[in-house]
Amino acid sequence: MKDINYYQKLINNGKNAAKKYRRECADIQTRMSADKRFNILLSNTETLKANLVTNDPKPVIRTRFPKENTQNPQEKQLARAVGEIVERTTIFVRDNFDCKSVFEDIITKALLFGRGVPRVKYEPIIESEGDPAAERIGAQEIKIESVDYDEILIQNVKKWDKVGWVAFRHLMTKDDLKKRFGEEYAENIELGFTEEKNEKKESDKDKESFAEVWEIWDKTDKKVVFIAVGYDQIISEDDDPYGLKNFFPIPEPLQFFKGKDLRPVPEFRHYSKIVDALEETCRRIDAQVKNIRSSAIAAAKDKETLEALNASEDNSIVTINQSLGQLSAAGGLRAMIMEYPNDEKIRVLQTLETEKTQRLMEIYEITGIADIMRGQSDPDDTARAQEIKGKFGSLRIQARQANVQNTIKECFKIITELVCEHYTRENLSAASSIFLPTEEEKKAIEAQMFFAQARAQATGQPFTMPAQMQSALEQPSWEDVLKTLRNDKLRNYTIEVESTATVFDGDRKNVEDRLNLFKFVNDILREVLPLMQQNLEFIPAVKAQILYTIDAFPQSRILKEAFEESFAAWEARVRQPQPPQPSAEIMLASAEQMKAQADQMTAQARMAEAQTKALAVGKKIELDEAGLIKDMQKDKADTAIKAGNLKIEEQKAAGNLMLQAQKMPQLKRGN
């Protein structure tokens, strides 16, 4: 059983072991902020940080291969749902704090102090509504903090997985103690710690005192213990609060230089003596520049001439009282004045400048900045030369970038674990905007569909399940998702965590990579689809090749799932059983039968054509006969009309004759 004496001894030994390192870090911090003419430490740190700071990193959750290739659609859909829920929730967590600034600070501390420590904090809000028995978890918050060099102690061992304890320091006021641990501890714990930075600026009367509280994460006992310096009791002792795989709320600290153990090695330690020499050289250069003067002495008799010459403007002529021959014989102007002796000082200054340049190059070689400088391209360089320079300039710094990337990835792994272990169904749904049915809701839908189907059968009407209800039944339930998330083995089997790339992978390269991927997929499909249709055994290999290539791209799950579905549909279609091929005799008989049928159809067509022609001829004859009859009838009618007209004319003539005959006697009597 570990008591207060064990933990106090642990903290005291850790502080003593870190005393020299903390003094070194304090000196580095002072140098970093010093107002100097040439602050090489500040310059180097900012240059290296610009090449290490990531773009706003995002987590990428991928389903592992066994779940991707499963033939069970329910398992595949569950794996995808779990991956998408966790990814969206982790991105939501990341968006709730300034992730980029936190990692910038971690990288800065790793460059300055040899170690950057990110700490993941999980803070649930308990809601009780006045009834302690009705307590429940409300909002849940996860964030990453950057731990200062003097606020953490880590057991000194050779490898991170052998670390047994980590301790975090908290400086608390009396109000902080009361709020965190209660009034009893606030009254009894001594406030005896004073920050050093305040001691130089404030009097003892104005200094604010704190309680030095240490939060110890004991991995061997899976406990978190709080103790205070000068207090002889353990303040609190809790079982593992997070349930993380590696217990600690921090990943392995970010260190660019490592010795034989985990003790941090500030980079400045490797070139601090060169910086001291550089600063001394710069001081001497400044003093030498002050001693270089543009002054001269002359005889009093030449004062008027020299003043006139000194006051003259360009392209002007100054006259003197003596002839030029006399002035030349006397040695000219050089004989009239004597310059201040600067030649030796200038040679010394040039030597100092050369020494300064050499010191700078030594520092740049140690820090790797020289590689960045060599990687800078010239506008006149060819594209190939610029590419070679760019690659060479990033060779040494790529190891640092890999360390940064791994630290970010491990932080997201811890966040993912906390999400899987502790987030409630309500918060997962709200953060991910994914809404799945519960088992109870799925049973209610099934019951509703059963009665609807029974009513349809009773009335003799067709039954069709609504698409919305069908989709709800096919989706995994929240109980299945939570079971997968809470079960460590299932969770690790289902998802893995990555993060997006660092700043060196720019937008232009991403666009080029995507275009190359598009071309690769199109080319391979164009070439192998015909082959796969005839050789189905190649389908798994080609499918794996395409999905393996797509999987290299962050956030490619949607594209990957689309290809999986397309391959599945295409494979199901090409694998459908084909009807058996008939024998040669059957095919020959079938061909003869088809030929006979074709001949019969040809004969029938010819007969139909002849009948059509005969009908056409008969029709024509009928039409001709009808015309002839019509003409005859017309002629007959015309003849009848003519005969009638003739008869009328005859009758008129007869009538006229009769009238004339009647008039003849009368004429005779008149005579």
pLDDT of residue 475: 86
pLDDT of residue 200: 41
Residue 488 scores a pLDDT above 80: no
| pLDDT confidence band for 305 (50 / 70 / 90) | confident
Q: What is the mean pLDDT of residues 297-326?
A: 76
Cα distances (Å, whole numbers) of residue 72 to 6, 66, 67, 69, 558: 54, 11, 9, 9, 19
For 503-544, what is the HEC assignment? CCCCHHHHHHHHHHHHHHHHHHHHHHHHHHHHCHHHHHHHHH
Give the separation between CA 69 and CA 543, rounded to whole angstroms. Answer: 10
More confident residue, 166 or 371: 166
Give the separation between CA 63 and CA 83, rounded to whole angstroms. Answer: 6
Helical axes 73-95 vs 478-486, angle rounded to 10°: 70
pLDDT of residue 377: 46
For 132-185, what is the HEC assignment? HHHCEEEEEEEEEEEECHHHEEECCCCCHHHCCEEEEEEEECHHHHHHHHCHHH
Give the separation between CA 322 and CA 335, rounded to whole angstroms. Answer: 15
The 10 Å Cβ neighbour count of residue 575 is 10
| pLDDT confidence band for 165 (50 / 70 / 90) | very high
CA atoms within 13 A on the CB side of 329: 5
Which residues, in sequence order, are CB contacts of 79 under 8 Å at separation 6+? Answer: 63, 67, 68, 70, 494, 495
| pLDDT confidence band for 143 (50 / 70 / 90) | very high
Closest of 329, 482, 481, 400 to residue 116, by C-alpha: 400
More confident residue, 113 or 553: 113
Give the separation between CA 271 and CA 278, rounded to whole angstroms. Answer: 10
Q: What percent of the chain has pLDDT over 70?
A: 69
Q: How many residues does the chain have?
A: 671
More confident residue, 611 or 121: 121
Q: What is the mean pLDDT of residues 234-243?
A: 92
pLDDT (tens digit, 9 = 90+) per residue, 492-543?
655 555 555 444 444 556 667 667 777 777 777 777 777 666 667 777 777 7
DSSP 312: -
| pLDDT confidence band for 204 (50 / 70 / 90) | low
pLDDT (tens digit, 9 = 90+) per residue, 77-105?
888 888 888 888 998 998 888 888 999 99
Residue 663 scores a pLDDT above 90: no
Mean pLDDT over the full length of the chain: 78
pLDDT (tens digit, 9 = 90+) per residue, 594-607?
667 767 777 776 77
Highest mean pLDDT among 32-41, 319-328, 334-343, 616-625: 32-41
Closest of 422, 411, 561 to residue 485, by C-alpha: 422
pLDDT (tens digit, 9 = 90+) per residue, 180-192?
998 889 888 888 8
Question: Which residue do the tokens 């320079």 mark?
Answer: 389
pLDDT of residue 652: 64
pLDDT of residue 198: 41
Which residues, in sequence order, are CB contacts of 606 under 8 Å at separation 6+? Answer: none
More confident residue, 173 or 465: 173
Residue 428 scores a pLDDT above 80: yes
Give the separation between CA 576 and CA 570, rounded to whole angstroms. Answer: 10
More confident residue, 109 or 671: 109
| Token pair of 494 as six digits | 């289902």
pLDDT (tens digit, 9 = 90+) per residue, 379-427?
554 554 445 444 555 667 788 888 888 899 899 989 999 999 999 999 9
pLDDT of residue 371: 67
pLDDT (tens digit, 9 = 90+) per residue, 429-443?
999 988 888 888 888
By the 10 Å C-beta count (0-12 exposed, 13-18 middle, 19+ buried), 417 is classed as buried
CB 108 within 8 A of CB 20: no
3-state secondary structure of 420: helix
Residue 630 scores a pLDDT above 90: no
User: What does DSSP say about strands 236-239 and 296-298: parallel, antiparallel, or unpaired?
Assistant: unpaired
DSSP 581: P
pLDDT (tens digit, 9 = 90+) per residue, 43-56?
888 888 888 876 67
pTM of the model: 0.69
User: What does DSSP say about strands 495-499 and 59-63: parallel, antiparallel, or unpaired?
Assistant: antiparallel
Residue 378 scores a pLDDT above 60: no
Measured between alpha carbons, how far apart are the two ends of the chain, in Å?
Answer: 189
More confident residue, 297 or 349: 349
DSSP 331: T
pLDDT of residue 23: 93
Cα distances (Å, whole numbers) of residue 251 to 91, 213, 412: 19, 22, 10
pLDDT of residue 490: 62
pLDDT of residue 206: 54
By the 10 Å C-beta count (0-12 exposed, 13-18 middle, 19+ buried), 54 is classed as buried
Question: Which residue do the tokens 């310096």 mark?
Answer: 229
pLDDT (tens digit, 9 = 90+) per residue, 13-26?
999 999 999 999 99
pLDDT of residue 370: 74
| pLDDT confidence band for 122 (50 / 70 / 90) | very high
CA angle 10-14-20, nearest 5°? 160
Give the separation between CA 182 and CA 302, rounded to whole angstroms. Answer: 92
3-state secondary structure of 199: helix
Q: What is the mean pLDDT of residues 469-483?
A: 86
Residue 229 scores a pLDDT above 80: yes
Cα distances (Å, whole numbers) of residue 126 to 133, 139, 178, 539: 12, 8, 19, 53
Residue 625 scores a pLDDT above 90: no
Which range, of 57-66, 297-306, 336-345, averages the lowest pLDDT? Answer: 57-66
Highest mean pLDDT among 320-324, 446-450, 625-629: 446-450
By the 10 Å C-beta count (0-12 exposed, 13-18 middle, 19+ buried), 244 is classed as middle
Give the separation between CA 274 and CA 271, rounded to whole angstroms. Answer: 5
Which range, of 302-306, 339-343, 389-393, averages the lowest pLDDT? Answer: 389-393
More confident residue, 485 or 462: 485
pLDDT (tens digit, 9 = 90+) per residue, 572-596?
666 666 555 555 566 666 667 766 7
Contacts for 159-163: CB closer than 8 Å, 24+ residues apart: 159/262, 160/252, 160/262, 161/246, 163/219, 163/248, 163/262
pLDDT of residue 501: 44
More confident residue, 537 or 156: 156
